[in-house]
Every structure is written in structure tokens, then in C-alpha cells.
């Protein structure tokens, strides 16, 4: 049980090593939602260009409706949380909307990257694309991303971008609150005198009071700093996932014996009604689960570092962060070369350590190693059914504030909606009245028009 959820947003510049460092940092800081712009991705399938990013056992990935263009937004979500691609998420690689459930709090998170897409010759800035952002927001919504936009509101030291008016207009029309600390830089390269503010966080009124501890993480390996904040929610619980059993360690003899003993006294009535059959199936399922609980150990869900992560990498990362802090304290005038050297050493060490680990793993004499390696390279495809609006709330994907209460996100709620819509009750007809009916052995056929 926890009363908060940590969110980290960062642009990783399509760099796999930076992504590995961000994921490791997320594990150590107990990050539950990781919002990525410009992710490192590879194609799952060269034909239809389905993409994925780096796999991690503690998170699943949600990508946008991107067609054939390389996606430039991605969200990693901790496996114990309930999240899915929202109905109103646009068909665009640069904007991703997810529905996220934190206990009783149902919210939407918008991941936004504002740039021209290099694979589309007719591409324009994301903020200028028609219908890219929802026309109506939930009471509890977050708008996060790399906006590549300067404005005195958040970056008073730089001239205003020409397209900033479009972003400001959207912010004002939806009464969004800026979470950034004004002037706190989020983007820095060595040729710049001071950092600029490109990565922004906005929240609606329904959730802004639940957000605290907004801060930047100065060096994650990208020229964009990470942005970290916490969502407080006293009713948040991470126990929503069903119990999983570790069948590899099962005592099958004990399971069989226990189940047979349990089924000996189970009634199997004939000519049962549908309701009785449902109760019988539920009882049967409970007996199987009870047998499993007494003979199969349960799997525990926890956050894990990658198997190649070691203390040497921790030491190199500390050195990089040390020079990062020194450079910031000097106003970004000193320690630039030392920071660059420490960063190069650290990220080269990540690459070589990963390579050495997997080479040693594959040299193992165990014949099953190659199959384990194949399994590690393929993420479990997680494509949850998006949250569904109940039938009486309309069909609009752009749900307004009223949609919050009618949005169904749990498995059972979705099942109930599908069952109600796909299998409606049959139509009722009035019973036939036979009061005036008189039986007769003679059939009186009406005459045809030609016989008259």
C-alpha cells in the first residue's frame, strides 16, 4: 500500500544507452510512470513496422497510434498499475494519451513531443497539427512533454517562439497550471551559456493539488534533464493485479491429491438452471485456486535491476553526477570537459558490461540458455483494451468531465459492458390472446383477386 506515485519525464534522444540509464534510475527511485520523448525504438516486424523500445521486467510499454512513422512518444508503466491507450489518443507518432487508474483516481496523461517529423515530407510542428490535443480534458489530466517552445512564462531569459501563441491559447482555454519552476532549465548542451526550458509539465485543477516535489534530475545521459514529481493519492493501492503462481516450483502431486480430495464432496446437480451453473463454475474455480494455494508458491512482483548492472557502474555514475553538480554550481562555466569525460566513460562501460554479460550467458553449457536469451529479447506484448465509456454516456472518445465517472477501466467492468452490448436481452412481445379462438376442422381460404 502506498499513498503516492512518482512520475519521471525525459527526452532520451533516441539513445539506447541513455534509456538503460533512465530505466535503472527509475528502478532505484521507485518510479511508477516513465514518460519518454524521442525513445530508442526498433521494429518488431519489418513488414508492418510495429515498434518497441528496451524491455524491462518491471514495466510494460504503451506506444501511440503511429501508423508507419517512427513513434516519438512512449510511456513505461509499472506492471502493478492499470493503464491503457485512451480512446481519444490521436493517430500521430508525436502525441500519446493514456488512461491511468490510481485506486479511485482515474486520470489521463498526455505525452507530447513538438517537432517536425523527419519521415514525413509534409510534416509540420506537432502543436500546429489539427485536432492533435483533446478539445475537452478530464478533471484530472496531465500534459507532459518536450514542447520545444520558449515563452517568458517559463523561460524569461529567451525570446518567445513564433508558435508559442498556439500552446498558450490551449493552456489558457483549459485553465492548465504550470508545474515548472520558472527559469529552472531542462535542456543544456556544452555550447550553451545556460540551460533553457523546453520540457514542461501542466496539470488540470482536479489533480494539481495532489502534485508535489516537482524537480529536475540534472544528468541522465541526455541533453534534456529529467523532470520528476509525485502524485499523492491516499487510496492508491498496487494490489490490483491477480495473484500469480510460480508453476515451475509447483508440487503437482500435492496439487492433484488436494484437488481430488476437494472435488469428492462437490455436488454436480442435474437439470440445473443457468444461475446454478454459474455458481457451480465459481465454486469449481475456487477449489482449483485453493488447491494451487496449498501446493504452488506465489510469484512476487518487485522491481529488478538489469542482470548486468553492478557496483562498478554505480561508481562511474556517481562520478558523472558529481561533475554535473559541480558544473551547475559554477554556472555551467567550469568542469565541462571533466563532465563529458565522466559521461563517456560511464556510458561506454554500460555497453561493454552488457556485451560481456550476454556473451558469458550464451557461452553457458546449458542447452536451454539460447531459448532463455530469445525470451529476454521479446517483450510480452501488452495491449490492454482501452478504457470504455458505459453505454449511457455517449460514444465520444473526447470525453469531458462527465466522462470520468462513466469510464470503465477494470477487467470486470469491461466484460460487463461487452456482454451488455453484444448480448442484449431479446425483445419482448405481448402474449397472444386465444379468448375468441374457436377450433374448426374446415379451413377457409381467402379467394384470389382473379377468382372474383
Print pLDDT tens along the chain (452 aa).
Answer: 468 899 999 999 999 999 999 999 999 999 999 999 999 998 876 665 688 899 888 899 999 988 789 999 999 999 889 898 998 999 999 999 999 988 778 899 999 999 999 999 999 999 999 999 999 999 999 999 999 999 999 999 899 999 999 999 999 999 999 999 999 999 998 888 889 999 999 999 999 999 999 999 988 989 999 999 999 865 444 444 455 788 888 899 999 998 888 888 777 777 778 787 888 888 888 889 888 888 988 865 555 667 788 889 989 988 988 888 888 888 888 888 888 899 889 989 998 998 888 787 777 756 666 676 666 666 555 555 666 766 654 444 444 444 444 667 667 778 888 888 888 888 888 888 878 777 777 777 777 776 65
Residue 347: closest CA among 57, 24, 11, 10: 24
pLDDT at residue 369, rounded to an integer: 66
Other CB atoms within 10 Å distance of the CB of residue 209: 10
Place of cell 529536475: 216
DSSP states along 310-375: -HHHHHHHHHHHHHHHHHHHTTSSSSHHHHHHHHHHHHHHHHHHHHHHHHHHHT-S-TTHHHHHHH
pLDDT at residue 178, rounded to an integer: 96
30 vs 43: CA distance, rounded Å? 29
Residue 134: closest CA among 76, 75, 202: 202
Residue 237: closest CA among 342, 51, 374, 105: 105
Supply the DSSP symbol for 385. Answer: P
Cβ atoms 91, 41 nearer than 8 A: no
257: Cβ contacts below 8 Å, ≥ 6 apart: none
Helices in 233-273 by DSSP H: which ranges?
252-264
Cβ atoms 184, 75 nearer than 8 A: no
For the record, the C-alpha cell of 379 comes out as 517483450
pLDDT at residue 329, rounded to an integer: 85
Domains of the chain listed by start with CATH number = 4-232 (3.60.10.10), 247-293 (no CATH), 388-422 (no CATH)
136 vs 114: CA distance, rounded Å? 20
235 vs 402: CA distance, rounded Å? 21
Residues forming beta bridges with residue 231, ordered by sequence position: 5, 211
pLDDT at residue 267, rounded to an integer: 75
For the record, the C-alpha cell of 113 comes out as 513531443
What are the distances in angstroms from CA 407 to CA 88, 337, 398? 12, 52, 12
pLDDT at residue 325, rounded to an integer: 85
CB-count burial class (<10 Å; 0-12, 13-18, 19+) for 291: buried
Residue 105: closest CA among 131, 142, 69: 142
Cβ atoms 72, 13 nearer than 8 A: no
221 vs 208: CA distance, rounded Å? 29
Residues forming beta bridges with residue 99, ordered by sequence position: 84, 108
Amino acid at each position: 500500500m502506498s499513498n503516492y506515485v512518482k512520475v519521471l519525464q525525459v527526452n532520451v534522444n533516441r539513445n539506447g544507452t541513455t534509456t538503460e540509464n533512465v530505466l535503472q534510475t527509475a528502478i532505484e527511485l521507485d518510479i511508477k510512470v516513465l514518460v519518454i520523448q524521442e525513445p530508442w525504438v526498433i521494429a518488431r516486424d519489418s513488414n508492418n513496422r510495429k515498434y518497441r523500445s528496451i524491455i524491462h521486467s518491471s514495466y510494460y510499454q504503451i506506444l501511440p497510434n503511429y501508423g508507419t512513422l517512427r513513434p516519438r512518444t512512449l510511456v513505461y508503466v509499472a506492471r502493478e498499475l492499470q493503464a491503457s491507450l485512451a480512446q481519444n489518443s490521436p493517430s500521430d507518432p508525436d502525441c500519446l494519451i493514456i488512461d491511468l487508474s490510481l485506486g479511485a483516481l482515474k486520470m489521463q496523461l498526455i505525452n507530447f513531443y513538438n517537432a517536425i517529423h523527419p519521415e514525413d515530407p509534409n510534416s509540420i510542428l506537432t502543436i500546429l497539427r489539427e485536432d492533435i490535443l483533446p478539445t475537452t480534458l478530464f478533471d484530472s489530466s496531465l500534459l507532459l512533454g518536450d514542447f520545444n517552445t520558449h515563452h517568458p512564462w517559463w523561460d524569461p531569459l529567451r525570446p518567445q517562439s513564433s508558435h508559442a501563441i498556439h500552446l498558450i491559447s490551449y493552456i489558457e482555454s483549459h485553465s492548465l497550471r504550470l508545474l515548472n519552476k520558472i527559469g529552472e532549465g531542462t535542456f543544456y548542451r556544452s555550447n550553451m551559456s545556460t540551460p533553457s526550458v523546453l520540457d514542461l509539465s501542466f496539470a488540470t485543477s482536479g489533480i494539481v493539488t495532489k502534485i508535489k516535489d516537482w524537480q529536475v534530475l540534472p544528468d541522465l545521459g541526455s541533453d534534456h534533464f529529467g523532470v520528476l514529481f509525485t502524485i499523492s493519492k491516499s487510496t492508491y493501492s498496487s494490489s490490483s493485479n491477480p495473484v500469480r503462481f510460480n508453476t515451475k516450483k509447483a508440487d503437482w502431486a500435492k496439487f492433484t491429491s488436494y484437488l481430488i480430495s476437494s472435488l469428492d464432496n462437490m455436488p454436480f446437480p442435474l437439470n440445473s438452471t443457468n444461475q446454478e451453473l454459474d455458481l457451480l463454475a465459481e465454486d469449481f474455480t475456487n477449489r482449483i485456486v485453493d488447491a494451487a494455494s496449498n501446493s504452488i508458491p506465489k510469484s512476487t512482483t518487485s522491481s529488478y535491476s538489469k542482470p548486468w548492472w553492478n557496483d562498478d557502474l554505480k561508481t562511474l555514475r556517481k562520478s558523472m553526477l558529481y561533475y554535473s553538480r559541480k558544473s551547475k554550481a559554477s554556472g555551467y562555466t567550469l568542469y565541462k570537459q571533466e563532465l563529458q569525460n565522466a559521461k563517456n566513460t560511464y556510458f561506454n562501460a554500460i555497453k561493454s558490461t552488457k556485451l560481456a554479460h550476454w556473451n558469458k550467458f550464451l557461452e553457458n553449457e546449458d542447452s536451454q540458455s539460447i531459448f532463455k536469451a530469445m525470451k529476454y529479447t521479446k517483450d510480452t506484448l501488452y495491449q490492454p483494451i482501452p478504457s470504455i465509456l458505459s453505454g449511457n454516456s455517449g460514444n465520444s472518445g473526447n470525453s469531458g468531465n462527465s466522462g470520468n465517472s462513466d469510464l470503465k477501466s477494470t477487467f470486470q467492468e469491461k466484460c460487463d459492458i461487452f456482454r451488455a452490448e453484444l448480448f442484449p436481452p431479446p425483445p419482448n412481445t405481448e402474449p397472444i390472446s386465444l379468448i375468441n379462438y374457436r377450433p374448426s376442422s374446415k379451413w377457409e381460404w381467402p379467394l384470389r383477386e382473379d377468382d372474383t
